[in-house]
Chains A and B, each alone.
Chain A
Amino acid sequence: MSLRNTARAWPTLLRVGFAEAVAYRAEMFIWVLATTMPLVMLALWSTVAREAPIGRYGETEFTAYFLATFVVRQLTGSWVFYDMNFAVRNGTLAMRLLRPVHPLWTYAAEALAAMPLRLVVSLPVAIIALVVVGSRGITHDPVLWGMWGASVIGAWLITLLVNLLIGCASFYIESSLKLMDAWLVFFFVLSGYIIPIDLFPAGLRAIVAWLPFRFQIGFPVEVMTGAHDRAGALALLGGQWLWVLAGFVATALAWRGGLRRFAAYGG
Chain B
Amino acid sequence: MKKYRHEITAGFLPLLDSALLIVAKEKGFAEIEQIDLTLVRERSWATVRDRLAVGHFEVAHILAPMPIACNLGLTAPAPRMIVPMALGLGGNAITVSGNLWWKMVDSGATADLDARSTGDALRKVITQRAGDRLRFGVVHPYSAHNYELRYWLAASGIDPESEVEIVTLPPADMGNALKDGTIDGYCAGEPWNTFGVLKRGGHLATVKAAIWKSSPEKVLGVNARWADSHPEALAALLRAIYHASVWCAEPGNHEELARLLSGDAYINKAAEWLRPALTGELKIGLRYKQTVKDFFVPNAKAATFPWKSHALWFYTQMVRWGQIEHTGPHQRVAGNTYRPDIYRSALKSLGIAMPAASSKVEGALGMETPVGSSGALTLGPDGFFDGNLFDPDCIDEYLSAQKQP
**Bound pair: A and B?**
no
